[in-house]
Structure 1
Amino acid sequence: MDLYTGSSSYRMRDSRLSMSLDSSLSSRSTTSSWGGGRGSSMDLTYRDYFGPPKLTKFDEKMIELKFLKYEIKAHMKKINALKLKYRDWFSSKQQSFLDSVKLIQILAGKMVPNEISTLEHFKKVHRMACKFPRNGTPRDGGPAKMDEFMFFWNELCSLKIETDELYEKIGKYCDSITDLRQPAVKDRVDEMYKQLNIAFAEDFDFTCINNEKDNLFTYSISTYDHKYHGLVGYVPYLMTLSLRMFHYALKLHLEKE
């Protein structure tokens, strides 16, 4: 084999190899473009063949109830957070708060209630404390200390608006379904909501409330201040009622038809 022939044979083999590579690359490109290759972005799924799953009316109501319970739990977290703040305030400032209330009662005499049994009574004492001119005595700090208590009341009233909205949603949901697994649960929620509304009235007598189980910390006030227990126990009592009502609401379950 001469030099010319050998060179020609080499060029022919090189040409054939190049054509083989081009053919292989072309084949891979075609396969990939049609979704046949591994990792292709054109892979078909179950949804591509059959479309999204079709939900029954029961499935839709189950999902709706699930999201409603998410809202309830989120609201309960807000109430619990406020309750923790109140507990911290109570542990550090309840005595100075009660001392400021008693001082205004002594100074104002018959112009304010001697016994504070409702929030309305407390507000009268609070307003009177704000009317006294500053004179450099401990009396000057009274309004600010009472403002701290009113802060919790106002925050609770804001949460009550959300509570009312959630209760309305619960009612609409229950009216939209045919059957609950335990209808008595909804009845209990209704009863507790009525009880909550009664207790939220500013003329509600909170001297009769009992918080031994859920709000034991409110009983740490001094023995000689026990007549003010209803006042300091009122806000946590309302929060406990709200939490109990929503605890029952979380027990709502849909009965499958």
Structure 2
Amino acid sequence: MTDDAHSGRLPAETRIGRAALRVVDLDETTAFYRDVVGLSVLDRDEERAALGVDGSVLLVLRRDADRPARNRTDAGLFHTAFRVPTRAALGEALGRVRERWRLDGASDHLVSEALYLDDPEGNGVEIYRDRPRDAWPTDGDGSVRMATDPLDVESVAAAAGESGLVDRAPLDTDVGHVHLEVTSLSAFEAVYVEGLGFETGMRGPDVRFVAAGGYHHHLGANTWRGRTTPAAGRGLAWFEVVVPDAGALDAVRARLDAVAAERDVEFAVTERGDGIAVTDADGIEVRVRTA
């Protein structure tokens, strides 16, 4: 077991794995993530599509037309954030968005540059690239400092060069983070910080960013829209947190057991063949598995 596991923290190698969405129109939503985000369709049947890069699945879409639309009060997904490896790749993504979709926002977060849009069913999407970690600004306590400044969109577009429209995201693309809308930040911290073992980074009265290994954030949670009821409709089905080894997974189990015994927070833990699934008080399922 790693030293981080003994200390109550997730190991630095922890990352986000796949995310899964419940959708009505599987054809249209698959086309969006293929043609706009730039993922490849790796597997597809009438009820399910798996998309990713270089043979690795990043996103699973499942048709669920019988499930109701997400209610305006429901917790759930704020956005899935696809991380590209270079500024040129972000410029290529911007080209796809401009040619084939619509850009809803663009921000410079000091540690990263990000594009924001919604998929055809209203699920939030971020496409971003990180600046080099040694260039990230920090506060006096050593924590990573972020901001939401206007992005120089034309400079990002120029970074793509003269290659024209590029259909596919680079092979090093991954899911860098997932951002949730929750009903309670204290309940979020009980499960994801005290239980799973993420460390809290940026925090405000209505937002928390948590991460492993000093990253700016692997998970975000906010209460900006005043969600008051658990997730029940379409949208986020589950997402993965990937830990490096069985020792780290056992440490997560132990921490969750301690939270269940000591805290008045509702969540459920079930065993899976490759790890565990945790359903938090907002009905959001996070699957923790080994790499």
Q: Would you tell me which structure has more strand in proportion to its own residues?
A: 2
Larger Rg computed on CA atoms: 1
Q: Would you tell me which structure has more helix in proportion to its own residues?
A: 1
TM over 0.5: no
User: TM-score normalised by the shorter chain: which range applies?
Assistant: under 0.3
Please report the TM-score for the alignment, with normalisation by the length of structure 1. 0.23
Please report the TM-score for the alignment, with normalisation by the length of structure 2. 0.21
